[in-house]
């Protein structure tokens, strides 16, 4: 059966954007990719109607009574929201999801099973080994990047929801310059604002785009501030 890249879970799409094709390691400019993964999980839960995002200034997340999900990562995160003793913000959940133990490896294994990546190891300074995930089939990532290019540099008034979500997540995690020149992205600033603001989509996905993008951006900013404060205090 032919793999449709747009049917990949958003977490797998995000990871493809973050990994170096040949080395199978995370691109240095994708240092905030884990927050995009966290945002992708939240967005998938919204799209699956397992959670709802409130309209508060700092949106809170509520679980929707429903059946478990087949995807083990999504189900783990859904169960965490269901079992929470108090309501938490979208930003708090994105940060928590981003910190799931071995999240990158769990997502990568899904892509390995589909033949997009392969699981291998390399040595670092001859001291220890690390898991890497070189690309076996570059087609899915190329397709996703091309769809993002059409969304960002085109002028269509309607976008496929999941394409808009991928652009919004990559933008919030500062990953777009990995795939597109900064100068060209700057020229499309207004277009990007419309995409991440949800202007070019509708329905339930609108809430997912706005909440995930805002939560990832807030989590990234908080991480940068904490890192800078820690460095300054040394």
Phi and psi (nearest 5°) for 85?
-80, -15
pLDDT at residue number 228: 61
Query: 5-229, what's its fold?
Result: yeast vps74-n-term truncation variant fold (1.10.3630)
Q: Are the CB atoms for 132 and 27 separated by under 8 Å?
A: no
How far separated are the first and last CA of the chain, in Å rounded? 55
If we measure between CA atoms, which residue out of 15, 18, 17 comes closest to residue 31? Answer: 18
Q: In the chain, what are the domain boundaries?
A: 5-229
Output b/e per residue, 201-234; b: 16+ Cβ within 10 A.
Answer: beeebbbbbbbbbbbbbbbbeebeeeeeeeeeee
pLDDT at residue number 198: 83
Q: Are the CB atoms for 165 and 43 separated by under 8 Å?
A: yes
What average pLDDT score do residues 96-114 get?
96
Higher local confidence (pLDDT), 202 or 218: 218
The torsion defined by the Cα of 214, 141, 201 and 159, in degrees rounded to 10, comes to 150
Q: Cβ neighbours of residue 79 under 8 Å, at least 6 residues apart?
A: 68
Q: Mapping DSSP to helix (H, G, I), strand (E, B) and coil, where does residue 88 land?
A: strand
pLDDT at residue number 116: 97
* Entry field: residues in the chain: 234
pLDDT at residue number 193: 92
Residue with tokens 């990532």: 141
- Segments of 41-80 assigned E as strands: 51-53, 60-63
Does this model's pTM top 0.85? My answer is yes
Higher local confidence (pLDDT), 183 or 6: 183
Residue 178, judged by CB atoms within 10 A of its CB (0-12, 13-18, 19+), counts as: middle
pLDDT at residue number 227: 64
Q: Are the CB atoms for 13 and 161 separated by under 8 Å?
A: no
Per mean pLDDT, which range of 18-22, 76-80, 225-229 is the poorest?
Answer: 225-229
* Mean of pLDDT over the chain: 89
Q: In the predicted model, is pLDDT for residue 7 greater than 70?
A: yes
């Amino acid at each position: 059966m032919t793999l449709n890249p747009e049917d990949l879970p958003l977490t797998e799409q995000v990871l493809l954007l973050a990994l170096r094709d040949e080395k199978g390691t995370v691109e240095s400019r994708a240092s905030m990719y884990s927050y995009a993964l966290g945002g992708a999980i939240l967005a998938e839960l919204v799209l699956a109607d397992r959670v709802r995002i409130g309209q508060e200034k700092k949106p809170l997340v509520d679980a929707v009574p429903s059946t478990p999900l087949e995807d083990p990562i999504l189900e783990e995160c859904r169960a965490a929201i269901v079992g929470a003793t108090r309501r938490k913000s979208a930003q708090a959940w994105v940060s928590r999801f981003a910190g799931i133990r071995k999240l990158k490896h769990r997502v990568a294994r899904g892509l390995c099973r589909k033949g997009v990546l392969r699981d291998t190891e390399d040595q670092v300074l001859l001291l220890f080994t690390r898991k890497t995930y070189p690309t076996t089939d570059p087609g899915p990532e190329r397709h996703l990047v091309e769809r993002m290019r059409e969304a960002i540099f085109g002028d269509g008034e309607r976008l496929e929801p999941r394409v808009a979500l991928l652009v919004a997540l990559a933008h919030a995690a500062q990953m777009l310059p990995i795939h597109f020149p900064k100068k060209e992205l700057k020229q499309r600033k207004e277009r990007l604002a419309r995409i991440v603001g949800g202007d070019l989509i509708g329905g339930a996905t609108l809430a997912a785009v706005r909440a995930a993008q805002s939560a990832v951006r807030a989590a990234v900013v908080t991480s940068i501030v904490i890192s800078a404060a820690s460095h300054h205090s040394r």
